[in-house]
Amino acid sequence: MMKFRFRRQGADPQREKLKQELFAFNKTVEHGFPNQPSALAFDPELRIMAIGTRSGAVKIYGAPGVEFTGLHRDTATVTQMHFLPGQGRLLSLLDDSSLHLWEIVHHNGCAHLEEALSFQPPSRPGFDGASGLLSLARVTVVLLVAAGDMAALGTEGGSVFFLDVPTLTLLEGQTLAPDEVLRSVPDDYRCGKALGPVESLQGHLRDPTKILIGYSRGLLVIWNRVAQCADRVFLGNQQLESLCWERSGSTLVSSHSDGSYAVWSADAGDSPMTQPTVATTPYGPFPCKAINKILWRNCESGDHFIIFSGGMPRASYGDRHCVSVLRAETLVTLDFTSRIIDFFTVHSTRPEDEFDEPQALAVLLEEELVVLDLQTPGWPAVPAPYLAPLHSSAITCSAHVANVPAKLWARIVSAGEQQSPQPASSASSWPITGGRNLAQEPSQRGLLLTGHEDGTVRFWDASGVALRPLYKLSTAGLFQTDCEHADSLGQAAEDDWPPFRKVGCFDPYSDDPRLGVQKVALCKYTAQMVVAGTAGQVLVLELSDEPSEQAVSVASVDLLQDREGFTWKGHERLSPRTGPLPWPAGFQPRVLVQCLPPAAVTAVTLHAEWSLVAFGTSHGFGLFDYQRRSPVLARCTLHPNDSLAMEGPLSRVKSLKKSLRQSFRRIRKSRVSGKKRAANATSKLQEANAQLAEQACPHDVEMTPVQRRIEPRSADDSLSGVVRCLYFADTFLRDAAHHGPTMWAGTNSGSVFAYALEVPTAVAGGEKRPERAVEAVLGKEVQLMHRAPVVAIAVLDGRGRPLPEPYEASRDLAQAPDMQGGHAVLIASEEQFKVFTLPKVSAKTKFKLTAHEGCRVRKVALATFASVACEDYAETCLACLTNLGDVHVFSVPGLRPQVHYSCIRKEDISGIASCVFTRHGQGFYLISPSEFERFSLSARNITEPLCSLDISWPRDSTRARLQESPKLSQANGTPGIVLASRSRDGSPDPGRSKGADTPEPPEAMLSPTSIDSATSADTTLDTTGDVTVEDVKDFLGSSEESERNLRNLAEDEARACAILIK
């Protein structure tokens, strides 16, 4: 008689309460540079900066850790933003001409950003000039006047409207039409031509009743709002691009479409002025591009800064993105690698000050933010504590290292400081310092490592809200490439004109795609790391505090093992340099292991205590002893039909097309053959179904109420030999009495290889082991019946806990593993999780994720979840990300589902492929090429902005208005910079702000509102993580299949004995 054991027992209230104390899903902060920025603003009083994006996001930055994020209701481009100085309020203009007022409000001592009011201009009512409300047409420019209480709106039709900012309502009777301005213009200037759109509006710093209006045709007018008349008129004839009004009001500067700028005197009488005082084309005489924006800043020394963008010679340098800085006789042409969005200077704005005295210049580019110190000779760049361009070269992989020791942290920081030393005379500091960071100092240091297409690995401080760059490791210097030639071309001679100066670090072009970093691994206790690349190169590096000059040992490992019938058709290996090479302080290469064929490395792991590194490609895996500089093992995993594995990753597009074509052919063939044999093959079909049922659901394991039938994968599928994961463990493999070093490897075809290693033990008290050779013997070989790719392998000790990292137990940095009870190995495939006992490797328990949920596993990690109610209580669980973008958490070793959340949109293939989990229940994934979204699955371990801002405006009226306005979803999936936790409807939840001991209500924790990324909808990354054919198949799944899966899930839920927490 069969005995069925159902997984879903009745809900245990005690367990449900414990889950609420352990698990909670929050998208907390976005690290990196905003994707597709479109507008910039700066508040000189509060020292905060705002960046708007094409997706409608508004991001405000102050001191490191002070961040606010908001998202407009409509996905529209933010074209302009203006701070109301000192008030913590921001006026934004979208490309649909709507205006939105944002306010930084405080709740429970912490601040966050809310949209208070919005204003949609009336649609064009025709040409009824008698109507009180003229059509605004399209708003082209906004100017805040009267201390921010009023805004002037310039339009495409040439009119200027006035808006009451506190209520966002138009002020009737104050509209300035072009006809009124033309009355002050001589008849010969009118000559039937329209003035064109309003291109610029400028206010007078000391006289708020005056407004400088610039029209596209070139006419400049100083308009007196009180007297309703023109004080001065400047009859320009060149198409206007930008205006700047000098601090005293006596000088105007206009820039034009022909690459020229003109200086006008405002003190030369009342008659219309026809000629400027100075008119020059700085990069003439040949035709130049337009000067899009110009600034004039005076100094106490008597001279002044003229800063402008554009104006380059059209034929020679029309494709350059430049900002020119001119002071007296000194001209520097700042040459950037991406398009200029906007720029501002940090200077004195107090009316009583006589001079601007600019301290810094901030330039917002499409791909980065650059700040220059204008008070230091040479105008050096100021290192940014945040907003670093993560994608200065495209991100190809990432890894997180938790609990970094203080000594290693200091050494990495020191190496980074030596890479970019600041001049001794520089008194520069980051000028955007507004607000206060209220978050406590992080209890542990976290490193985020990103590998890039140009062969670099960047180290980031991921301990807090601000992702700070620490150090950059470059591997290109070890190989012969064209880097030096490219660098020499970039060095301009001193007598070259224009005087270009390369600024910024965004450089998306790689000299050689083979340099791309595919995998990284770091041992935080020995400061050793492994970097593996696209051309099969595996580098073992060690941190050194001093520069050195030394040769690098080179070894090759043939993974094909002389197998016949395979010819590599991909790229060549990289040629290493020979002889001693200079290496700066930092991570310096010791050994280069070259895999043959030189295919991209798909898995790597490092065990510093045994001095071993394991690596895998699409052909097999190898084990290398980097202490003795000798290979230990090489195993080919290719199937006879694995011809696709020989084409190489650089023919990925062709391979992808071929795979999709083969898939569609198989589907078509199965349909046709199915029709043919439908009549006479009923018995065979029943027999096959019985075999499938036998494979998918053996009788001796637990049953579940409803399971999908999964088609077993063919043994000869393309790329079946790809090594997906590698793992070292000290466990029981040969027998239950003796444990020892082992190495585990999992492949794309569901094969698991376990090797017993003979590693010479180190002498007591010694760091290094003896020089005897390491030996590897195949101990076990497991073939999963469903043949799904093996995503991860982990050994659990007698208490069901994962084994500690190398050196953790021997140095008393972690609890020693239980070597008395029986060990178990957890094998996670794309379709199910399974725990086997050791050393017998017999199935103990499993969970069929694909059969239950209709999804496939993409990323897994073991994480520790600490309780918010009890300081000492924590559970180790398995976190899993699926191809549908959901995150599931399972108990270990029982594999019981705990919670699951919707995290990433299922269409965001690149975001899913880039996800990385941390050891403490957090994670990162790319929402754009330049931004990581940080999320937390832990109720206790949350990294989110916690800040306040000193603002000076009446808060009571605003609070009343905020209660009436609906809560908006925030940008890019971050649920507000909500500096208290947010409940399901988005309102601040006072529960958690009272203290860590007060858990959130169940609704808030177990049913989080999923807010999709505002930027990732139209974003496709070039190279991020391992995007496989399966990912694309998931993305191309039919809507019928999706509906069927949802229907099955609903039926599954209805039949369940208990509710599965989601």
CB contact set of 452 (below 8 Å; sequence gap of 6+): 392, 393, 394, 395, 396, 458, 516, 517
Task: Tell me the whole-structure pTM to 2 decimals.
Answer: 0.83
Residue 461 three-state SS: strand
CB contact set of 666 (below 8 Å; sequence gap of 6+): none
Residue 412 three-state SS: helix
Look-up of token digits 């999923």: 1010
- Give which of 39, 34, 45 is closest to 68, Cα–Cα: 34
CB 632 within 8 A of CB 785: no
Other Cβ atoms closer than 10 A to 666: 11
Q: What percent of the chain has pLDDT over 90?
A: 61
HSE-up (13 A, CA, CB side) for residue 491: 6
Residue 316 DSSP class:
H
**Residues paired with residue 336 on neighbouring β-strands, in sequence order:** 321
One-letter amino acid at 935 equals F
Residue 817 DSSP class:
P
Q: How far is CA 420 from CA 22, 63, 413, in A?
A: 42, 22, 11
DSSP string for 820-845: SSPPEEEEEESSEEEEEETTTTEEEE
- Give which of 180, 175, 152 is closest to 80, Cα–Cα: 152
Residue 621 three-state SS: strand
Helix residue ranges, H only, 776-925: 849-853, 909-913
Q: What is the pLDDT of residue 273?
A: 83
Distance CA 321, CA 292 (A): 11
Look at the alpha carbons of 863, 866, 872, 876 in this order and tell me if their dihedral is positive or negative: negative
- Give which of 718, 1059, 767 is closest to 899, Cα–Cα: 1059
Distance CA 573, CA 537 (A): 8
What the block records as the tokens of 329 is: 């006789």
DSSP string for 660-712: HHHHHHHHHHHHHHHHHTTTT-HHHHHHHHHHHHHHHS-TTS-B-S--PPPPP
What the block records as the tokens of 129 is: 């000039």
Q: How far is CA 454 from CA 482, 506, 581, 731, 832, in A?
A: 12, 12, 20, 39, 36
Residue 918 DSSP class:
-
The beta-carbon contacts of 656-665 under 8 Å, at least 24 apart in sequence, are 656/1029, 656/1032, 659/718, 659/1029, 660/1029, 660/1032, 660/1033, 662/718, 663/1029, 663/1033
Residue 77 three-state SS: coil
What the block records as the tokens of 807 is: 């050196």
Is the bond preceding 13 in cis, omega lying within 30 degrees of 0? no
End-to-end Cα spacing for the chain: 35
Q: What is the pLDDT of residue 981?
A: 34
- Give which of 931, 927, 877 is closest to 907, Cα–Cα: 927
Q: In the chain, what is the greatest distance between 2 CA atoms, to the nearest angstrom?
A: 109
Distance CA 96, CA 77 (A): 8
Please give the helix or strand (H or E) that residue 1030 lies within, else none. helix 1029-1035
Distance CA 619, CA 635 (A): 9
Residue 850 DSSP class:
H
Distance CA 375, CA 873 (A): 54
Pairing state of beta strands 553-558 and 517-523? Answer: unpaired
Pairing state of beta strands 447-452 and 395-401? Answer: antiparallel
DSSP string for 622-658: EEEETTTTEEEEEEE---TT-GGGGS-GGGHHHHHHH
Beta strands in 374-422 (DSSP E): 395-401
Distance CA 467, CA 458 (A): 12
Distance CA 214, CA 302 (A): 28
Distance CA 397, CA 915 (A): 9
One-letter amino acid at 83 equals F
Pairing state of beta strands 553-558 and 586-596? Answer: parallel
Distance CA 286, CA 201 (A): 30
Other Cβ atoms closer than 10 A to 846: 18
- Give which of 916, 907, 902, 900 is closest to 858, Cα–Cα: 916
CB 224 within 8 A of CB 232: no
Q: What is the pLDDT of residue 991?
A: 37
Length of the chain: 1062
Q: Which stretches in the chain have pLDDT values below 70?
A: 1-10, 123-136, 192, 268-269, 422-428, 482-495, 641-718, 763-767, 953-1062
Burial 1035-1060 (b: 16+ CB within 10 A, else e): eeeeeeeeeebeebbeebeeeeeeeb
One-letter amino acid at 679 equals A
Distance CA 827, CA 228 (A): 79
Residue 801 three-state SS: coil
CB 755 within 8 A of CB 690: no
Q: What share of the chain is helix, strand, coil (3-state, %, to 5)?
A: 15, 35, 50
CB 425 within 8 A of CB 544: no
643 burial level (CB within 10 Å; 0-12, 13-18, 19+): middle
Q: What is the pLDDT of residue 973?
A: 42
Distance CA 323, CA 370 (A): 11
Tens-digit pLDDT profile for residues 62-105: 999 999 999 999 899 999 999 999 999 999 999 999 999 999 99
CB contact set of 313 (below 8 Å; sequence gap of 6+): 259, 283, 284, 286, 287, 288, 289, 498
What the block records as the tokens of 1057 is: 């004995």
